[in-house]
Amino acid sequence: MSKGALLFAFNSPKYNYYEMAVATAKRINHFLNLPVTLVTDETSIPTDSNYVFDKTITVTPDKNNKRDWGIWINKGRYQAFELSPYDETILLDTDYLVNSNKLLQTFDLPTDFCCHDNTHFLMYPDIPQELLSNYGFKTLWATVVRFNKTKRAEQIFQSIEMIQKNFEHYANLHSFIHSTFRNDYALTLATRIVNGHTTPVSDYIPWNLVHVGKNTSIHKNTDDPFNTEYTVMFDNWNKGKIRKEYNIIKDMDFHVLNKENFLELI
Amino acid sequence: MDTKTLITEAKARFNHNSAKAYLKDKYSSKLIVADQGGLWRADQQTISFLNSMSDNFLIVVIDTFNNPVQVNREKLLETLKDTYNTVMLEWHKEWSELEKKR
């Protein structure tokens, strides 16, 4: 059974996702000892990159998605099932910083598909879990997905495709904003559809997805390319004043929401 | 700017509550073990239960995925005890280091 990681990276006018993917791939190779396949487009591939992915697959991206900061090319993630060359795949966001071999444990989970259903925001330990809408389901996270080439996993990705192509309809059904397509929302609904509107606990990775969120920045403690110790700085707003707080973390994987901050770490 | 300077210049305070939460999150996840076709948490409750069933060689236990799994009790107990001891020692060591920070 072949195992590997899959990344999607399409450069936007604001961010160089290919560069992020190379940094993430190097850490996957180092900490997980897994090959990495990249799904990208011709225009994102630089002429001077000296990192060689296990495979590089070029596709034509759907650029029809926007966030407050500009174009966000995140559609087409449903192709992961078809494009992955591995029997068992870890599908990761490119802004996920691997600092341990923890993700290897997802291969031991007795399931053919799993993702995170719980998050932990560093410096915000009590923040509630995100819901699709005020009265909606708890959001699942597409940041880390481990899947095998099974019929059920294929159906989940086919459902993600269906939801992406009919996102406005599903947004109306579930009362969330449709102006920005989110893989997290499509994944949440797709797993429910395929599981007969149940929520089997075996579809969830049994530890939290760690986020570095708003008002929080993270700084590496050494210049080692495979540094695993970080200082987390947090602006704690209280009565109109900022109190700076910090924490030190090590050997823990995390997802950096702030892309500028992620680029400083790689 | 190195991180020590960053902390000093920002007059940042170490946040013990978030440090405790981070440690709990990190080490709780390390207590999860896949063994004998089930997924287990090497916690006090599971270890105590396995200890209390000492008359039986094979027992059925509900794993963290809510599946009943038939296991070799002694083998699972050893695995969970090893994991518990290793992880809790690491947790205690890192907690002791962070507790000194101000």
The string of pLDDT tens digits covering residues A226-266 is 999 999 999 988 888 888 999 999 999 999 988 889 998 98
pLDDT over 70 at B102, yes or no: no
The stretch B74-88 carries a mean pLDDT of 98
Strand pairing of A96-97 and A254-256?
Answer: antiparallel
Q: Where are the beta strands (DSSP E) in chain A?
A: 3-8, 36-40, 55-58, 66-67, 70-71, 88-92, 96-97, 113-116, 119-121, 141-148, 209-212, 216-220, 229-238, 241-250, 254-256
pLDDT band at B10 (very low <50, low <70, confident <90, very high): confident
Locus of tokens 């924490």: A247
Sort out which chain A residues have CB atoms less than 8 A from B66's CB and list them. 201
pLDDT tens digit string along A69-120?
778 888 899 999 999 999 999 999 999 999 999 999 999 998 999 999 999 9
Q: Is the pLDDT of residue A212 over 80?
A: yes
pLDDT, mean of residues A57-63: 91
Cβ contacts (< 8 Å) between B28 and chain A: which residues? 207
**Chain A interface residues facing chain B, Cβ-Cβ under 8 Å?**
102, 105, 108-111, 120, 122-125, 201-202, 206-208, 210, 219-221, 231-234, 236, 243-252
Q: Which residues of A touch B38 (CB under 8 A)?
A: 110
- Going from the C-alpha of A216 to that of each of A63, A123, A225, A265, B10, the distances in angstroms are 29, 8, 22, 14, 14
Range name among A70-74, A159-163, A166-170, B25-29 with the lowest pLDDT average:
A70-74
Q: Which helix (H) or strand (E) holds B4?
A: helix B3-10
**Residue B1: predicted pLDDT:** 65
Q: What is the model's pTM?
A: 0.93
Q: Provide, as residue numbers in chain A, all residues whose Cβ is less than 8 Å from the Cβ of B34.
A: 105, 108-110
Which sign does the torsion angle of CA A178, A70, A220, A146 carry?
Answer: positive
Which two tokens mark B99? Answer: 């507790």
Between B70 and B4, the higher pLDDT residue: B70
Give the H/E segment covering residue B38. strand B38-41
**Chain B partners within 8 Å of A249 (Cβ):** 22, 26
**Confidence (pLDDT) at A259:** 87
Domain ranges of chain A: 3-211, 212-265
On average, the pLDDT of chain A sits at 93
Q: For residue B44, how many other CB atoms are within 10 A of its CB? A: 9
What CA–CA distances, in Å, run from A148 to A87, A111, A194, A237? 6, 9, 15, 44
Of the candidates A23, A31, A3, the one whose C-alpha atom is nearest the C-alpha of residue A101 is A31
In whole angstroms, what is the distance from residue A161 CA to residue A147 CA?
16
ipTM above 0.90, yes or no: no
Fold of A3-211: Spore Coat Polysaccharide Biosynthesis Protein SpsA; Chain A (3.90.550)
What residues of chain B have any CB closer than 8 angstroms to a CB in chain A?
A: 3, 6-7, 10-15, 17-19, 21-22, 25-26, 28-29, 32, 34, 37-39, 64-67, 94, 98, 101
Q: What is the DSSP letter of A57?
A: E
CB contact under 8 A, A201 and B65: yes
Domain ranges, ordered by start, for chain B: 14-99
d(CA A11, CA A44): 5
Q: What pLDDT is attached to residue B11? A: 81
Residue A59 has pLDDT above 70, yes or no: yes
Mean pLDDT on B5-19: 84
Alpha-carbon dihedral of residues B79, B83, B84, B88, nearest 10 degrees? 170
Check A233 against B6: CB less than 8 A apart.
Answer: yes
CA angle A207, A209, A210 (to 5 degrees): 115
Question: Scanning every residue of chain B, which has its alpha carbon at the shortest distance from the alpha carbon of A251?
Answer: B26
Model pLDDT, residue B6: 75
Average pLDDT over residues A31-45: 97
Q: What is the SS3 assignment for A252?
A: coil
Q: What are phi and psi of A123, to 5 degrees?
A: 75, -5
Token pair belonging to B36: 């004998």
Q: What are phi and psi of B69, to 5 degrees?
A: -125, 130
